[in-house]
Each structure stands twice: as C-alpha cells, then as structure tokens.
Amino acid sequence: MRGKRLFIAVFLIPGLLLYALFVVSPYAQAFQISGTDWSGLSPSYEFIGLENFRRLVGDGYFWNALRHNGLLLVLLPVATILLGLFFASMISVGGRADRVGVHGVRGAGFYRVVYFFPQVLSVAIIGVLWKEMYAPHTGMINGLLRGVGLDGLAVAWLGDPRFAFWCVLTVLIWMNVGFYVVLFSAAMQSIPRDLYEAALLDGATRLTTLVRITVPLVWDTIQVAWVYLAIVAIDGFAIVQIITDGGPSSSSDVVGLRLYKTAFADGQFGYASAIGVAMFFLTLTVAAMFLRVTRRDRVEL
C-alpha cells in the first residue's frame, strides 16, 4: 500500500504544484491586487481597501456590460441546447421507422461532422470569418440579401447598435451548437430503441417523443450543458473583442472585455482585478444556481 501511494504521489504532486503555481496563484494575486490602485507597470502602489468595489457599483460601463452578459446567460444556453437537442434527435432517431427499427436520418455521420466542424476552428479564425461575413459591402450575408432582391435588408450589421449584440449572439450559438449535437447524440445512443418504437406505435409525434422520452433520459447531460454554456455566456470575451470590440457605442460590450480594456488600455490593473473578482463570484453563483435549478431525480431505465 505504501508503494502504491508513493507511486501515485510521484505523478500527482508535480501536476498539482504546476496547477497551484500557474492557476491558483494568479487567482489569489487578483484578490490582493483588487484592493490596490496598481497601474500594472509601476512597482509602487497603495492599498485602498474596498474603494475599487465601491467604484464598481457606480460604474455605468460595467453595468452595461453586465446587462449584455445577462442576456447571453438567458439566450445562449436556451437556444444552443434546443438546437442541439433537435439536431441530435434527428441524427439519432429522426429517420423513418422500418423493419430494422427506429434510426437516424440518412447521412447521420456526415451531419455530425458538419455540425462539429466549428469546434476544430480556433476562436480567432471564427471571429475573423464572421466579421468578414458581416461586412456591409463585401460580406457574404449582405451579398446574399442583394442577390435575392432584398437590398433594403442589407445593413451595416456590426456598425449598427441595434444589431451588433445579436450578431455576436448568433456567432456564439453557431460555434457552440455542434459540440452539444455530438454530446447529446452520444447520450441518446444509450436509450433503448424499444422505447421509441413503442411511442411510435402509440401514435406519439416526434415532438412528444423528444419531450417525454429523450429529454428526461439525457437530463444529466443537459444539466452539464447548462453549466458550461453559462460559463461561456459570462465570459464571451474573445468573440466580442474580435468581431465588434464592444461597439458600436458599447452596444455589445461584455464584462470580460471591460476588464481587458480597463487593465491594458486604461492602465488600471487594480480596478480591473476588482472586475475579475466580481466575475469570479458571479461565475460561481451562476454555476451553483444552474445546478440547483436544473436538479431533478434521475430516470432509471
């Protein structure tokens, strides 16, 4: 037993030390820096206590960014999970029933690859790609609208405060839904086909089958998806920074981007750390809340 514990410690302790050094330590330092007026470059700073947090309460730019994160928190998980469940259901059990039984649509393997494709692209590539697609004169979206005679709908998508946030939301849904299609498809493979065949014989529609059979049996996976997507919604920094940089007129700003600009553009690392601490507690609170709200009894087969 002693030899086994020593063997485990040899492989576990170095990894834990590296994690503590490069992950836990920066988090701890952020808490310390949030109580200072450090500019990020000067070695001198003063401790100012909770002054940064008092300033945060009255910061209109922060609350505007937080409002956008709140909208993402509501809309992104709902839209992504609904689309993921629909596509996964069609891939897994959406085909016509025959003598073999209930199965997915024809070409299901191809569709899985297509849906998952955005996951193999880096966030930078996705951001640049969609920014070019939204371009007012050379973008593909306006080009398609003009091509079908809808010139009046061709607008400067990223330059209009009415549309910039929704453009970013669309990109976030597009880049995430494929992963959850594959995740939900894998979860659905464990559901006995007999249940779907019995529902089909009873005259249940596909929507009823999805709501009454599929969703309860893959609820654990859906719960995990809620939490992951909530974290993505609270962050959202990279895509927003690449596509709109928070504009125009802060109409697509998010807390992560506000933190970045406060630190590296304004040189206020103390205040930026306070924003980071607020994000830390917000993420923990939202994750715990989502786990609590979506908790339900496990359905056993």
Q: How confident is the model at residue 2 (pLDDT cuts 50, 70, 90)?
A: low
Over the chain, what is the mean pLDDT? Answer: 87
Over residues 18-37, the mean pLDDT reads: 90
Strand partners, 47: 36
Which residue from 236, 226, 224, 227 is spatially nearest to 72, judged by alpha carbons?
Answer: 236
Over residues 64-90, the mean pLDDT reads: 93
Which residue from 127, 225, 226, 242 is spatially nearest to 175, judged by alpha carbons?
Answer: 127
What are the strands, taking DSSP E only, across 73-154? Answer: none
Using the predicted structure, report yes or no on whether residue 235 has a pLDDT greater than 60: yes
Asked, for residue 107, whether it belongs to a domain, the answer is: yes
- Per-residue pLDDT, 180: 93
Over residues 154-169, the mean pLDDT reads: 94
Q: How many domains does the chain have?
A: 1
Asked, for residue 6, whether it belongs to a domain, the answer is: no
CB 263 within 8 A of CB 279: no
Asked, for residue 22, whether it belongs to a domain, the answer is: no
Asked, for residue 283, whether it belongs to a domain, the answer is: yes
Using the predicted structure, report yes or no on whether residue 99 has a pLDDT greater than 60: no
Name the range with the highest mean pLDDT among 1-15, 48-62, 193-207: 48-62
CATH code for position 231: 1.10.3720.10
Domain with 117, as residue range(s), is: 59-293
Render pLDDT for 173-188 as a digit per residue (tens, 0 to 9): 999 999 999 999 888 8
Query: Which amino acid type is present at position 203?
Result: G
pTM of this structure: 0.87
Strand partners, 109: none
Q: How confident is the model at residue 112 (pLDDT cuts 50, 70, 90)?
A: confident
Using the predicted structure, report yes or no on whether residue 103 has a pLDDT greater than 80: no
Asked, for residue 87, whether it belongs to a domain, the answer is: yes
Asked, for residue 85, whether it belongs to a domain, the answer is: yes
